[in-house]
Amino acid sequence: MLHKNRLFTPGPTPLLPAAQNAMAAFTAHHRTADFKALFQRVLADMKEFVGTKNDVLVLACSGTGVMEAAVSNLTSPHDSVLVLTAGKFGERWTGLGRAFGCRVEELAVPYGETFSLDEVGARLSFNTRAVFVQATESSTGVRHDIEGIAKLVRARSDETLLVVDAITGLGTTHLDVDGWGIDFIIGGSQKALMMPPGLAYCAVSERSWRSMEKTTSPRYYFDLRKERKSAAKGETAYTPATSLFAALGAALDFVRAMGKGDLSGGREALVNNAELCAAMTRAGAKQLGLKLYASSPAAALTAICAPEGIDSGKIVKQFREWFDAVVANGQGEMKGKIFRIAHIGYYDYLDTIGILGALEHVLARVTDKNVEYGAAVRAAQEVYARALGEKPQLVNA
């Protein structure tokens, strides 16, 4: 059977055709009025997309590049920082903090779990320079309580910075950046913005800018003060990834159209879309007797435990071989134990129902147990029908 190659991975995600076209068509040089106009429009739109009055900067790098920028711009060697870690991306904060000579205190919870706010509060001290956390931990599919964590940080000290890796979180979960007092929030192009990898962005609070005047960690390409100065003149410090800016412009237009002319409304529509796809997928997986890995599942992706005795790599392989659908295996010690289906950005009803139908065939192939065809799909359809206010026409239910 013909199979279309489809990504169900938590980044890169499916590409928006309008973004692909814009990217392919763009040829302008980066030091021209044409690019400047695009650049300025995109930066202004990005503030609305992120939902902040803070400066937003867009850099040519992966999300990890801007994670490094957060550490190298906001800390000095020997600074005390608190890393809240619950997976591979939490551990990346620890690695970055140590690389730049910080005294890293880790609050680590087991994979699949999230933090107790009491414990977070207990670990915060007045000399904590910064708290680093993920909005959603893509390696385990967990959603962290950023609002709760932000309240604790803001209540403790005016000097402690809250840094949130929202690379998979922005556009898949509700985040009130300014209202909650998030000082530094990070996103990436290959996520809810429906574009290829290559751009990452951050929103930087006034508190962050002030602290950058004093920090001494080495940085050059990722020196955000330089980038901010250039942005004020309508340009980037170094050569920007021009075609990706064109794609970003098109993606933002699409998000605005989703919000009927309002970009922040569009972002909320994207979030609701991911929430619905995720709720459908969770219901489908449960109906098949599968266990969800995350105690507090994110809308960005659903991490599902492989059935007892089955390597999840086999499931990932069957999806690829039979359907050309790319789902993600677990990472690190979760490899072989879980598989992950993403809902970030450009997914719709047909994608979600299709991948659940495929999951039923995959399970039938890898397990001895009977799989009732249509069962996961039906459970997802019931979630959809309830969510969209469709009259519930359920037989056998």
Which residues of the chain form contacts with a copy of itself (CB under 8 A)? 1-4, 6, 21, 24, 258, 269-270, 272-273, 276, 322-325, 346-351, 353-355, 357-358, 360-361, 364-365, 369-375, 377-379, 381-382, 384-385, 388, 390-391, 393-396
Q: Which of 279, 241, 358, 251 is nearest to 14 (CA)?
A: 251
Closest separation between CB of residue 194 and a copy of itself, Å? 10
> Residue 198 to residues 61, 194, 247, 376: CA-CA distances in angstroms?
5, 12, 11, 36
Closest separation between CB of residue 353 and a copy of itself, Å? 4
> Residue 343 to residues 155, 193, 218, 271: CA-CA distances in angstroms?
34, 12, 37, 10
Residue 170 near residue 138 (C-beta atoms within 8 A): no
Residue 315 CA to chain centroid, in angstroms? Answer: 24
Compute φ and ψ for 114, nearest 5 degrees.
-125, 180
Nearer to a copy of itself, 27 or 239 (CB): 27
82 forms beta bridges with 105, 131
Closest separation between CB of residue 62 and a copy of itself, Å? 24
Closest separation between CB of residue 255 and a copy of itself, Å? 10
Nearer to a copy of itself, 130 or 278 (CB): 278
Nearer to a copy of itself, 214 or 391 (CB): 391
Closest separation between CB of residue 172 and a copy of itself, Å? 12
> Residue 281 to residues 112, 225, 229, 305: CA-CA distances in angstroms?
17, 43, 45, 13
83 forms beta bridges with 106, 132
Closest separation between CB of residue 352 and a copy of itself, Å? 8
Nearer to a copy of itself, 239 or 393 (CB): 393
Nearer to a copy of itself, 61 or 379 (CB): 379
Nearer to a copy of itself, 8 or 111 (CB): 8
